[in-house]
Structure 1
Amino acid sequence: MGPVPTGRRPAAPFTPLDFQLVLLRRMADHRPGPVEDARRALGVSPADMREANKRWQAMVRSPRSRAALSRYRSVLGEPESRTPRRIGDLECEAWRWPVPLWPSLRFEVLVPAAGGAVWNEWLVRAPGAEPPALRTVEDLTPWSCTVDEAARAFAPARPLEGTAPTRWGLAFTAPDANGARREVVAEFTWGLLQRTRVSGPPP
């Protein structure tokens, strides 16, 4: 009897599980602990995660790479929902897929109605799922909320340029548990909160 293979075969189809590993791989830069717990829950090895990310990057960067929307459909299948959306002057459609790692979230891709490149790709709260109660700085725990939820809870929030295409930032003021106003910079990966930097009361 030969050795039992421990890794995923590179030639296998790229699956929704592989895509979840891609999401986790980017989040590992900020939240290695929760990512490690999630990896174990999925029953995959660190090598599996590295291989999934390597294959995804090769797909994205290949000169023969299909358009982003086609790539998501090939990996995730047909979306769970397609909803018309208007953002400013942009008419688009929100395509959403379930993400088993986060049952209360969906992976959303915004597709311009007139065609062209995908406008946005991130995690959002699933329709009907209970949103988090965001009232103070202490409520901003890792993986607790999405970009749009934090922006609404602590408006007005100022968008910050991310350090990578899958990262976003928000700057805002929020009360702490004692009621003092604090300056907060929140960092998100694939639309999900990863960490916050909190400073003293604004002048």
Structure 2
Amino acid sequence: MSEKKYFTKFVRSVDWNATKEAKQAVELIEEWETIDVADALELLPPEFETEEIRAYAVRILERADDEELQYYLLQLVQALRFERSDMSRLELFLIERALSNIEIASFLCWYVAVERHDPTFGRQYNNIYKMLENSMIKFVDREDGDDDEAQLCQSLSLQDKLVVELHSVPKNVRDVCGSGQKKIEKLRELLPGIFTEVTKIKTFFVC
């Protein structure tokens, strides 16, 4: 079918609010030359609300190996804010891949945890984080779960606690009345506890 380099332009040209045109476009997409994984990311911004388009993007992403997926992981986590429903195809895909790769799981949890503090999308990411956490707990509790998976869950729990503490530091320092020296003293008071939490975390990143 048509060259894949024109795929995104074609998708943008479709009036997805016109039922007949949208249906014909979906049929045409299925016959199109398969696009690359990098191109699939262009189908996840907010202007592409159509479920068929976002589902197609996820099908392309499923072809990525773990290394390639990890390269695009941050962008994919940020794209979650544009999903129209809970437990979207993209969300389920990322969780599924996280359950099969410890490195992806660790990075995914960190990225989602940071987004939980976003003033606009924080609640949405909090729900995603809870679903990810529950999925990992169920995965570890299965009969054939191994020690690495259990340690990962423990590590992620500590990481979550660490993120909360890090976000509280600026506020705690700002709330100190008095000179800049007192604020510095407060910061010095808080840092040892944070460093203690860091040393407890078992990392799963390959150097």
Q: TM-score range by the shorter chain?
A: under 0.3
Larger CA Rg, structure 1 vs 2: 2
TM-score (norm 1): 0.27
Higher percent of residues as strand: 1
TM-score (norm 2): 0.26
